[in-house]
Amino acid sequence: MKKWMTVMTMSAVLLGAATGCSSNGNSGEKGNNSEVSDKGDAGSNSSSGKPVELTFWGDWGGEGQKQFETMVDAFNKSQDKIRVKYVLQQDMITKFLTASTSGGAPDILFWDRWRTSLYAPKNVLHPIDEMLAADSLSRDDFYSEALKELTYGDKLYGLPLTVDARALFYNKKILADAGVEPPTTWDELEQAAIKTTKWNGSKLEVAGFSLGDPGLFNMYLQQAGGSMMNEDNTKTNFNNEQGKSVLSFWDRLLNEDKVYKTGFEQGLGEGTDAFVTGKLAMQYTGPWMLSTYKKYGKDLDFGIVPPPVGPNGDKGSVMGGFGLVIPEGGKHHQEAWEFIKWWTANKDNALLWAKTSLNIPGYKPALEDPFFKDDPFWKPFLDTLEFAKIRPAHPGYSVMENDALIPNLQLFQQKKQSIKDTLSKSQQRGDQLLKDNADAQ
């Protein structure tokens, strides 16, 4: 999971470079929205009459830093009561935990949402439920799964900044040449992969479908009708028929149909991308790749569809993304809240963020804009987000997945371990890690 998070973060940083802001952040809705006006409604102000200065920590540099600074500048220009400064932090979480006990905590923190169940019990985050209610903001305007990921116990600790989910990217020319349509089921996916795969003797020249990321097991398990953990969120729940269904599907694709070869994408040489260079017909990835693939224009004619359903028609994808939270140790909770709601709970400002970063905002009203409605590439992701689920909110979940499940899945893909042993060993080690990490205090 840590690896997946790192890839997500780096991709989002690198791929926001393809666009710039095309509107300003000064316009907004009236009434119960998030706009900070010039009339001093931005919460308490300093006794000297000077603007309250807030520090915003994040770990996005490069283009990501420019995107953040675009939003900070727009907010600062929208009113004269608060001034926000973005500060890039390497090893941000470690520094944040240290600062939380030493009095140097920032006022706003860029937050990978899955961390909430791990760090909220440490009392380093400030709940926002009362502020949300005071401003009459509707939870229905946000993705419920994203809010759930920012919740621990019965308290909400932030608002979603971005949402994302995997969908199926396909090379239109390769599929058309093979006479197949974009797949909608596992069976169709398998047949399309078979027909688009090309071998030259023992050398795989075009892979029909990528199986290079075992961390997507959760998504396949949902499609098989299963879930990663049991109902009371205490133990793993994949050593069963649903888990077996996933690995049997992988086994067919890898070892019978031979539509992919383990390590294929890593062995193509530096600076190459299998999908871009026409060596891969289909793959699961997210909206963070749109700007990269669009750059290639007619040289890469690609399409996107929601993830194919499993054997019994079950849908599945994993929702990820980021949020903005208020550290408990910050000195200006109300002012920090004004900045967060301005950015994440205002249609115009959420749209400015989308156009600046090419991220899908967590605020649903912004998605009604033509920027999303008129671009066919967004629709498969928006459709997928309607059923995508977050990872289980257990403090030890990421440790379980990263240290127990994925290593065993890799052994399975390398034909060093059977389906039965893979699921059994993953369960045994995974349940122990969940137990060992159940207390996040």
User: pLDDT tens-digit profile of 250-272?
Assistant: 999 999 999 999 999 886 654 57
Contact 363, 26 (CB under 8 A): no
Average pLDDT over residues 66-91: 97
353 confidence band (pLDDT: 50, 70, 90): very high
Instruction: For 216-240, write each residue's pLDDT tens digit.
Output: 999 999 999 999 999 999 999 999 9
Q: What is the pLDDT of residue 296?
A: 83
Q: How far apart are CA 96 and CA 93, in angstroms?
A: 5
Return phi, psi of residue 161, to 5°. -95, -45
Q: How far apart are CA 365 and CA 350, in angstroms?
A: 9
Instruction: Please state the pTM of the whole predicted model.
Output: 0.85
What's the chain's average pLDDT?
89
Q: Using alpha carbons, list the distances in angstroms from residue 374 to 19, 377, 384.
A: 17, 9, 17
The full DSSP string for 156-191 is E-EEESEEB--EEEEEHHHHHHHT-PPP-BHHHHHH
pLDDT over threshold 90, residue 20: no
Average pLDDT over residues 89-107: 94
Q: What is the pLDDT of residue 45?
A: 52
Q: What is the pLDDT of residue 348?
A: 98
More confident residue, 25 or 430: 430
Tell me the CATH number of domain 2-164+320-385, given options 3.90.226.10, 3.40.190.10, 3.40.50.620, 3.50.50.60. Answer: 3.40.190.10
Q: Which CATH architecture has domain 167-316?
A: 3-Layer(aba) Sandwich (3.40)
Q: Could you give the residue range(s) of every CATH 3.40.190.10 domain in the chain? A: 2-164+320-385, 167-316
pLDDT over threshold 80, residue 301: yes
Contact 324, 110 (CB under 8 A): yes
Contact 384, 306 (CB under 8 A): yes
Half-sphere exposure of 341 (CA within 13 A, CB side): 29
Instruction: For 102-141, write each residue's pLDDT tens digit.
Output: 889 999 999 999 999 989 999 999 999 999 999 999 999 9
Average pLDDT over residues 311-329: 97
